[in-house]
Amino acid sequence: MRALRAVGRRVGRRLVASAPALLGVVVFTFLLMRVLPGDPAVFFASGPNAGQEEIDELRRVLGLDRPIPVQLAHYLYDVGTGNLGRSLTTGQPVLRDLTERLPASLELTVTALILALGLALPLGILAALRPGSLLDHGVRLVCSLGVCVPTFVSGLLLIYVFYVVLGIAPDPTGRLDIFAASPPDITGFLLVDFLLVGDMEGWRAAAAQLVLPAATMALFTLAPLARMTRASMLAVLGSDFVRTAKSIGLGRGRVVLVYALRNALLPVITITGIVFSTMLGANVLVEKVFSWPGVGSYALDALLGSDYAPVQGFVLLMASAFVIVNLVIDTLYGIADPRVSIE
């Protein structure tokens, strides 16, 4: 009970400590969007015959006619009250867009990460156990290929092979077959929602849609994870306690998986956290190729259109995600290595 309270206190302290950073991010993004060339009022007032009057009107509606400090104060007040503004690109409140799209991005990223970890850990361990062997070189080759091929190339390639040529993948447009019924919106995660209502056929359909984009992302994230596992395992396998464990006759599996792996996991967890937060926002290309309704492509479209509110909302979301992921990672450290305690 005391331990739980300590964890709670630590989490609380961390969240409070991250508030100034989040505020900084909000203000910085706000200012950055306004120094970027490109006037949203001009861009969006592009209807036939739209003239200066329409541009001014749109500027007034967007509040862009007021001085920047006033705009900033209004924006901070709005963010404080949970209003992130309205997207010109989709015409919807940013908060609604993000809450609808974040589960899509999360579902894809988490699946990809599980897939990547499921491959990277065994590959990294095997490579570390036999450094310099054919297997090690094979793993290195797979990793290099995964990183070298940009995700839109591997994505299009997977679509070409599995959808166009072989015809075994469903059409690569979004989270669910367009003719299928979607589950009730409970969590926003289709796989979870289908399970909750017990619709296994729907679950399989949603999972099938997820396979190609998740594989594309997993290929890309495989390299940092596998390489880090290998390097970290190599270091640990050469350390004194592993030699001791071997010398007193402990089983090989026990030595590798229990003693060595647990000690080697710390850097892998760190990398996993970074990879996760990066992929959440940076998988724009995968989202575009697979028409995945995620937050990354949403923010990119907004940025290209100088649509301020969604970009600001997206950056705030990503900053918050970073804070939370870091918190989770720090908690995981404690599990992987009880000696670590981050205050």
Which residue reads 């998988």 in tokens? Answer: 283
Nearer to another protein, 217 or 319 (CB): 217
34 in contact with another protein (CB under 8 A):
no
247 in contact with another protein (CB under 8 A):
no
Nearer to another protein, 290 or 322 (CB): 290
* Interacting residue with another protein among 71, 83, 92, 270 (CB under 8 A): 92
Contact stretch for another protein (CB under 8 A) within 109-117, 132-140, 141-149, 167-175: 167-175
Nearer to another protein, 159 or 279 (CB): 159
* Interacting residue with another protein among 19, 32, 73, 197 (CB under 8 A): 197
* Interacting residue with another protein among 174, 211, 274, 337 (CB under 8 A): 174
* Interacting residue with another protein among 122, 184, 238, 251 (CB under 8 A): 184
90 in contact with another protein (CB under 8 A):
yes
Nearest-CA neighbor of 112 among 296, 300, 256, 257?
296
Cβ 29 to another protein, closest distance in Å? 17
d(CA 330, CA 21): 18
Buried-state track 218-227, b at ≥16 Cβ within 10 A, e below 16: bbbbbbbbbb
Nearer to another protein, 272 or 312 (CB): 312
# residues near another protein by CB under 8 A: 63
> Tokens representing 257?
């998986």
* Interacting residue with another protein among 103, 124, 172, 313 (CB under 8 A): 172
Q: Find the binding residues for another protein in span 305-324 (CB under 8 A).
A: 305-306
166 in contact with another protein (CB under 8 A):
no
Nearest-CA neighbor of 176 among 213, 147, 131, 141?
213
* Interacting residue with another protein among 64, 149, 188, 199 (CB under 8 A): 199
186 in contact with another protein (CB under 8 A):
no
48 in contact with another protein (CB under 8 A):
yes
Report the length, in residues, of the chain.
343
DSSP E strand stretches across the chain: none
Nearer to another protein, 287 or 330 (CB): 287
65 in contact with another protein (CB under 8 A):
no
Q: Find the binding residues for another protein in span 70-89 (CB under 8 A).
A: 87-89
Cβ 208 to another protein, closest distance in Å? 14
> Do 218 and 112 contact (CB within 8 A), yes or no?
yes
Cβ 28 to another protein, closest distance in Å? 20
Residue 151 CB contacts under 8 Å (≥ 6 apart), including other chains: 216, 217, 219, 220, 283, 285, 286, 289
Nearer to another protein, 46 or 247 (CB): 46
289 in contact with another protein (CB under 8 A):
yes
Nearer to another protein, 185 or 252 (CB): 185
Q: Which residues bind another protein (CB under 8 A)?
A: 36-40, 42-55, 57-58, 61, 87-92, 97, 156, 159-160, 163-164, 167, 171-174, 178-185, 197-199, 201-202, 288-291, 293, 297-298, 301, 304-306
